[in-house]
Structure 1
Amino acid sequence: MSERGYTPEQDADGKTCQWCQGSGYVTRVLAYNPGVDPFKGPTESVHRAGQCKHCRGTGTYDSHLDPTLEHWRRARPDS
């Protein structure tokens, strides 16, 4: 979603995931090299849809559930 086409009613509660735009999945690229040496020869790439790691496939973002954030830093007692 571009900023020009954005209207507040499209995201009324402000929780649409910004990484997958609310779809729940993102494109993942996998590379495959046939043979015993993974760094020689032609490489084939495959594009597949994978679950968004930020919203866990729900399409709505909640920072408390985001596994990519370091929640242990907030859980430490203040010294």
Structure 2
Amino acid sequence: MSEAAREKINSEFKANRNETDREKIDELLKTAEDCEMLIRTTVIQSELVDIEKNLYRMHLREDLAYQENESPVEEK
């Protein structure tokens, strides 16, 4: 998970740490679960392997939501 995502999640939990309304807590937890699913299924992490070749290694997980993308058509 990216540092920005981690910081946003932590700040939201801290902002609502004193919440006592059970319905509001359930709503916040549902939102957190939805965000986790979105990040887990749509974000691909990669690491730089060779800076000179601009080569990256992608870390693919089984739960990624793969999509078929058409190759761009080059104009002649």
Same-fold call, TM > 0.5?
A: no
Higher percent of residues as strand: 1
Q: TM-score, normalised by structure 1?
A: 0.25
Q: TM-score, normalised by structure 2?
A: 0.25
Structure with more relative contact order (C-alpha pairs < 8 Å, separation 6 or more): 1
Higher percent of residues as helix: 2
